[in-house]
Structure 1
Amino acid sequence: MLRSFNKFSTIKRNFYATNKNYITFDNQVNLPKLPIPQIADTAHRYLESTKPLLSPQKFEETSKLVQKFTEKGGLGEKLQNRLIDYAATRPNSWLEEIWLNKAYLEWREPSLINVNWWCNFLDSPVHDKLLLKKPPPSGVLSNFQIERAAGLITNLLNFKHLIETETLPPDVAKNVPFCMNQYRYLFHTCRIPQPKCDKLVVNPGATHIIVMLKNQMFKVQVYGKGCSRVSTAEITRQLLAVGKEGLISTEPPIGLLTAAHRDTWTKAYNYLSKSPSHAKNLKLIQDAIFVLCLDDHSTKNNPDHTHLQFFHNFNAENRWFDKSLQFIVASNGKAGVNGEHSPVDAVIPGRLFDYLIQNEPAVDPENVTESLLPPPELLKWRETTEELTDLINEAKTTVKKLINETESVLLHYRVYGGRYIKEIAETSPDSFMQLVLQVAWLRLHKEPTAVYETSSTRAFLHGRTETGRSLSNESLEFAKSFGNDDILYDEQRKLFRNAIQKHLETMKLCAAGKGIDRHLLGLRCMLQGDEAKDSLFSDEAFVKSIPGNRFYGGFGPVVPEGYGVNYAIDKDVIKLSISGKKNTKTKKNAPDVYQFRAMIERTLTDFMILFPKRSSIWGMDWKNLHEEERKEEVYFKSMAKASEDYLKRKTNLEKKYLQ
């Protein structure tokens, strides 16, 4: 998925409607509600998905549990009826509240790394190249950094205007309209810590953003009187004022608390809320359109370290991890985003980021007013006590441990990309990559694992995602064929096609609301008392087959024994980010992101054996080939011209002297 750095330049989907008469939320009333699958269908698909992971004996035991669960009058039927009754009380989607709470808001581990995602933008088309080669020293801001940040603010407000005026074309795929509800939560949205289960708040009326610099927070107005738009130059003036004061202010790093364990942050939040001035500050942050983080240091030169500034900033400082979007601009002009995952899924901000990059450098909107904005307002937290200081120190300890135990590396594979996969391998790039990851895993860890890939269910009202269980009997059989010299390439290609077809069928069912895991989640939430005891949900196979147990396509590792893999497929390059935990390396089959990256690269290359190159398309080789062809074409044209000139001269000489 997305994925999800460098302009979100994954395979382009037909998401944007072209009819200018469309209204952004016009299709909402016509969207169907997410269906509740039949118990028998889910049970069949569940059993099928567990088979590659279980021994024959264990599979037989699980089959008996499933049969008992689905029998007439059994627990499955009771839970299904309860879920149907619950769905009747939900105005939009039976899954919406369940998923939001269970997947995100009840999660008590830090949002940093575990929930939040990151994105690294392309350089600006007018980027100061000298800044990239010789960035400013730490503790200094650059003029280009301020100018780019101001331009991003202008474009962000432009995109926000499209949503508010409902002039943003709605998303569609193959003429099927998608739910646009998540666009309402891109801006003005914040997660608030609460005991046991957090909450989301949205206040669309605010006209300010929060700008952070060296842990100092400023309220910055970005609209003039009557919500009128101001020029990018005026926004630049505001950011320069922030830079002047922010570099010398010494307010405590309150934002660090948002990276702590959610219970620690809840305790600190409740403590801060007792002070009227602190409560006002918290409200200003929550209501803000978004957060802008100006870093007084540049991104690292090491490619494996550059993205970490957007992932966790090495110490989680100068961030507010509860905001749906916080945009980050380093002193060398590099820019990116860190986002809180609970309100929106990846494709929603992806469309926003495409818009931002495509419209750099920013142009002022029409009807800009000349009025000056009020000066930035520093948020002060000086009524701090020893108790709050202790909570901040506890957050620092948590953050340091979490960051130190998490590894994240990048792989930019430049041999081929989507063009080769579609035109040579003749298959879906997403399905292709899923097989690459499974083969790489099996080669490295010598056993199969559950695989989680996100599938969108936005064809339904307030739809979000379903889990695509990418591991199948077909994909495992194909993965095992690598390294087996007894299998001919023709047979291996047949296994490849079978695995691809199975993956496509699985993802199609997920998109149609007929997946496995969201239905099982809904049924689990209907359990009462000790009904889970000795049922399907207490079975070892259920725990083992839950996608994400070790490996999933996402942002950070969801479990200690797994990897988080995010890939973006361009025309001639495949970009991956791979994350995992360090503290499990002493365990059997523990993740090692460096070895896994090397195995993915090797597997991508080995896949080319199955699909030999033609002269038309071939990644970097394709580029070099055609560059040579162009040189040869110029050479042959010049030779042909010289030969033609010679023949003309020869003919003229013959006419003159031989006739």
Structure 2
Amino acid sequence: MSQGTAATPTFALEDTLPRVPLPTLEESCERFLAWCAPLLTEAELAATEAEVAAFLRPGGPGRMLHAALEEYDATEGVHSWLDTFWPYRYLGRRDRIALNANFFFLFRDSDLPQVERAAGLIAAAVHYKRRLDRELIEPVVQRGQPQSMEQNKFLFSTTRIPGTEQDTVRAPYTDQWPGPSEARHIVVFFRGAMFRMDVLGPDGVPHSLADLEAGLRAVMKAAAERPVAADAPVGHLTTMARAQWAAARQSLLACDPGNAEALDAVETALFCLCLEDCAPADTQQACDQLLYGDGGNRWFDKALSLIVFGDGRAGINVEHCGLDGTTILGFVDALLDTPAEEQSRRSGARTQGPPKPSPVVFELDEALRAHVRSAADAFAAYGKNTATAIVSFEDFGSNTAKALGVSPDAFVQCAYQLAHRRAKGHLGATYESIATRQWRRGRTEAMRVVTAEMQRFAAAMDDPAAHADARRSAFRAAAEKHVARAKECQAGQAPEQHLWELELIQRRRGTELGVTEQPALYRSPGWLTMRDDYLSTSSAPSANIQYFGFGSTSSRCIGVAYVLLPERLNLYLSTPLPVAGEMRAFADSLRAAVGELCELMAADHG
């Protein structure tokens, strides 16, 4: 639907969605022990049980912290007991977000050259925004349950602002900026140069595709004629650790009055478009460039950065604080499901003459230039110290798993565990992101994959004495337990984020609440081991994307981003360079494990 009215306006159901249930303290502690137990020795489990008992005792720290959370959840204007958790979790991190937190999608291929592809993506994104402004995008409904559309408010003109202790967000639909953004421009990057380019005319009507193409060619010509010095692209600063970037941003503002205007142009832009002056050698290099690429040709704090390579391949880099994969999948499907010409027509675009790009220029002193150089060098080194790999299964997809009588997600998660055991010799803590948008302001829940059933399955597969029937039985039990736990997470019956928020309350309000020290539970073997990821996994199923990816979450973790579709499975793996050998062993073992499990289950269905 392009014009007129939506049967249900985009945000009409938000306040009718059920609230995220707050588990009791006893429930979360009981689940926590069950979840961490498979990863612990008997002594470690006993030590963790003792700390849980101390946490739970009458008048103990757990009771005080949970009572404060219950009070907060009941406060007028609070939508969810997670309302404070999310910004603290995402905006409170102090390391760099480039590569560490932002995620990417590689779009399906197109025959269009670079400029035409980029103009088409701009036109489609502008069409989506105009529909969103009028609330013409119907709320998503899954299995009869409406999903929260709140995150759509953070797609356009949204920018993360670095802070010394915690970041903030500059965004529309807020008290400071009520309603949709009225910005008419985007920021285009090419060879490290930045240009402000209007994509909507003075009356708010979108520019035609021909106009946009002419504007982009003007950007590329201007950037080629006046090359940017290596120590000038301010985008490099967005790759720094957050407090360092916050200090550099203050230096920018103090250096020259014009820098405030330049920052304003970037921060209020609808989104960024990054035109790359090269074509990736292969698909893996395209993924790597989308994940981190040249920091001088990015603004990693921007919610959305569309990236188009010299050969027309394209993708998106997303700042994660207000946006999760499910929202971006919906946006990308809207961009790519309909041809650009039709998107432009539906948006009411018309020829208005090419937009005239204007350079976004920052005045830098020698200290800031030194910051830019050091940030560029440090990020380039960080990228080189990250190992990545892609794994593609052309002969396996969700239809394969269903035909074998196994939940597709459970199938691949079991395969990951089997491959990990064979690559590293043991199972380790594994995170899986579970979408919970059916709740008011819902985002995701943290699921822990390693269960006792998963352990028995992985052991049975490598036990020479185990017969095929025993292996099949163990596989089914592990898969069924996985499905059951995922459903618990979707229902808000998971312990990790609840207990984590109690820890954060102690940090923020401990003195006021009489809990002056961090409870020992958070130093227990169970808490530390369960959250020390060996695998961090997340899924993004869409026919419009080839690969999805993110960086590793710890020094020994392998990030596993997977696109599981009816006829194919594509994975992007990332890990710190010292773990590269184990990551490659995991990839090799995974190929074998998927085939082995298919063969095992096919014998039972033959």
Q: Does TM-score exceed 0.5, indicating one fold?
A: yes
Which aligned pairs between 1:201-600 and structure 2 lie closer than 5 A? 201-203=170-172, 204-251=181-228, 252-274=232-254, 275-301=256-282, 303-313=283-293, 315-363=294-342, 364-366=344-346, 367-372=348-353, 374-381=355-362, 383-424=363-404, 426-527=405-506, 528-529=510-511, 531-533=516-518, 535-546=520-531, 548-554=532-538, 555-583=550-578, 592-600=582-590
Given that 2:94 and 2:243 are in contact with CA atoms closer than 8 Å, whether structure 1 keeps it comes out as yes
Q: Secondary structure at the match of 2:84?
A: helix
For 1:492 and 1:532, the matched residues in 2 are separated by 47
- In the alignment, does 2:81 pair up with 1:94? yes
Pairwise CA distance, 1:456: 1.4
Q: Match for 2:51: what amino acid?
A: L
For 1:374 and 1:396, the matched residues in 2 are separated by 31
Provide Cα deviations, 1:143-184, integer angstroms capped at 9, x if missing partner: x21111111111111111221111111111111111110011
Provide Cα deviations, 1:578-602, integer angstroms capped at 9, x if missing partner: 10001357xxxxx632111111111
Pairwise CA distance, 1:531: 4.5
CA separation of 1:56 and 1:393: change in aligned 2, threshold 3 A: same
CA separation of 1:376 and 1:533: change in aligned 2, threshold 3 A: closer
Pairwise CA distance, 1:492: 1.5
Q: Secondary structure at the match of 2:307?
A: strand
Provide Cα deviations, 1:473-524, integer angstroms capped at 9, x if missing partner: 1111111111102111112222112111211121111111121111011111
For 1:469 and 1:83, the matched residues in 2 are separated by 23
CA separation of 1:515 and 1:336: change in aligned 2, threshold 3 A: same
Q: Secondary structure at the match of 1:553?
A: strand
Query: Normalising by the residue count of structure 2, what TM-score does the alignment of the two structures yield?
Result: 0.91
For 1:362 and 1:272, the matched residues in 2 are separated by 41
Q: How many residues align?
A: 570
For 1:312 and 1:77, the matched residues in 2 are separated by 43
- In the alignment, does 2:86 pair up with 1:107? no
Query: Normalising by the residue count of structure 1, what TM-score does the alignment of the two structures yield?
Result: 0.84
For 1:533 and 1:220, the matched residues in 2 are separated by 50
Q: Secondary structure at the match of 2:295?
A: coil
Match in the other structure for 2:22: 36
Q: Match for 2:536: what amino acid?
A: Y
Provide Cα deviations, 1:549-575, integer angstroms capped at 9, x if missing partner: 222114211001111001111222210
Given that 1:218 and 1:377 are in contact with CA atoms closer than 8 Å, whether structure 2 keeps it comes out as yes
Q: Match for 1:23: what amino acid?
A: P
For 2:352 and 2:51, the matched residues in 1 are separated by 70
Provide Cα deviations, 1:233-262, integer angstroms capped at 9, x if missing partner: 111111111111011223411111111222
- In the alignment, does 2:132 pair up with 1:153? no
Of 123, 130, 133, 1:164 maps to: 133
Q: Match for 1:582: what amino acid?
A: L
Given that 2:559 and 2:574 are in contact with CA atoms closer than 8 Å, whether structure 1 keeps it comes out as yes
Q: Match for 1:493: what amino acid?
A: R
CA separation of 1:470 and 1:30: change in aligned 2, threshold 3 A: same
- In the alignment, does 2:114 pair up with 1:119? no
Identity of aligned residues (%): 28
For 1:311 and 1:80, the matched residues in 2 are separated by 38
Pairwise CA distance, 1:361: 3.9
Match in the other structure for 2:544: none
For 1:351 and 1:533, the matched residues in 2 are separated by 40
For 2:565 and 2:74, the matched residues in 1 are separated by 43
Provide Cα deviations, 1:263-307, integer angstroms capped at 9, x if missing partner: 221121111112221110101100000000111111113x33231
CA separation of 1:532 and 1:479: change in aligned 2, threshold 3 A: farther
Given that 2:37 and 2:526 are in contact with CA atoms closer than 8 Å, whether structure 1 keeps it comes out as no
Pairwise CA distance, 1:316: 2.5
Q: Match for 1:31: what amino acid?
A: L
Q: Secondary structure at the match of 2:469?
A: helix
Q: Secondary structure at the match of 2:203?
A: helix
**Aligned residues: CA RMSD:** 1.9
For 1:287 and 1:238, the matched residues in 2 are separated by 19
For 1:608 and 1:403, the matched residues in 2 are separated by 36
Given that 2:61 and 2:519 are in contact with CA atoms closer than 8 Å, whether structure 1 keeps it comes out as no
For 1:232 and 1:355, the matched residues in 2 are separated by 17
For 1:33 and 1:149, the matched residues in 2 are separated by 40
For 2:268 and 2:426, the matched residues in 1 are separated by 48
Given that 1:25 and 1:180 are in contact with CA atoms closer than 8 Å, whether structure 2 keeps it comes out as yes
For 1:269 and 1:292, the matched residues in 2 are separated by 22
For 2:241 and 2:378, the matched residues in 1 are separated by 7
Given that 2:211 and 2:355 are in contact with CA atoms closer than 8 Å, whether structure 1 keeps it comes out as no
For 2:400 and 2:284, the matched residues in 1 are separated by 26
Given that 2:194 and 2:359 are in contact with CA atoms closer than 8 Å, whether structure 1 keeps it comes out as yes
Q: Secondary structure at the match of 1:209?
A: strand
Match in the other structure for 2:154: 185
Pairwise CA distance, 1:211: 0.4
For 2:605 and 2:455, the matched residues in 1 are separated by 32
For 1:97 and 1:185, the matched residues in 2 are separated by 17
Match in the other structure for 1:588: none
Given that 1:158 and 1:365 are in contact with CA atoms closer than 8 Å, whether structure 2 keeps it comes out as no
For 2:263 and 2:58, the matched residues in 1 are separated by 53
Given that 1:231 and 1:368 are in contact with CA atoms closer than 8 Å, whether structure 2 keeps it comes out as yes
Q: Match for 1:263: what amino acid?
A: A
For 1:507 and 1:219, the matched residues in 2 are separated by 45
Given that 1:255 and 1:317 are in contact with CA atoms closer than 8 Å, whether structure 2 keeps it comes out as yes
Given that 2:102 and 2:318 are in contact with CA atoms closer than 8 Å, whether structure 1 keeps it comes out as yes
Q: Secondary structure at the match of 2:54?
A: helix
Pairwise CA distance, 1:539: 1.1
Q: Match for 1:249: what amino acid?
A: R
Provide Cα deviations, 1:601-644, integer angstroms capped at 9, x if missing partner: 1111111232126999xxxxxxxxxxxxxxxxxxxxxxxxxxxx
Q: Secondary structure at the match of 1:466?
A: strand
- In the alignment, does 2:68 pair up with 1:82? yes
Provide Cα deviations, 1:35-88, integer angstroms capped at 9, x if missing partner: 211111111110001111111122122112212222333221111101112223
Higher deviation after alignment, 224-233 or 469-478: 224-233
For 1:479 and 1:378, the matched residues in 2 are separated by 57
CA separation of 1:145 and 1:57: change in aligned 2, threshold 3 A: same
Q: Secondary structure at the match of 1:112?
A: coil
Q: Match for 2:220: what amino acid?
A: G
CA separation of 1:64 and 1:39: change in aligned 2, threshold 3 A: same
For 2:268 and 2:227, the matched residues in 1 are separated by 24
Q: Secondary structure at the match of 1:574?
A: strand
For the pair shown, which has the larger CA radius of gyration, 1 or 2? 1
CA separation of 1:359 and 1:614: change in aligned 2, threshold 3 A: farther
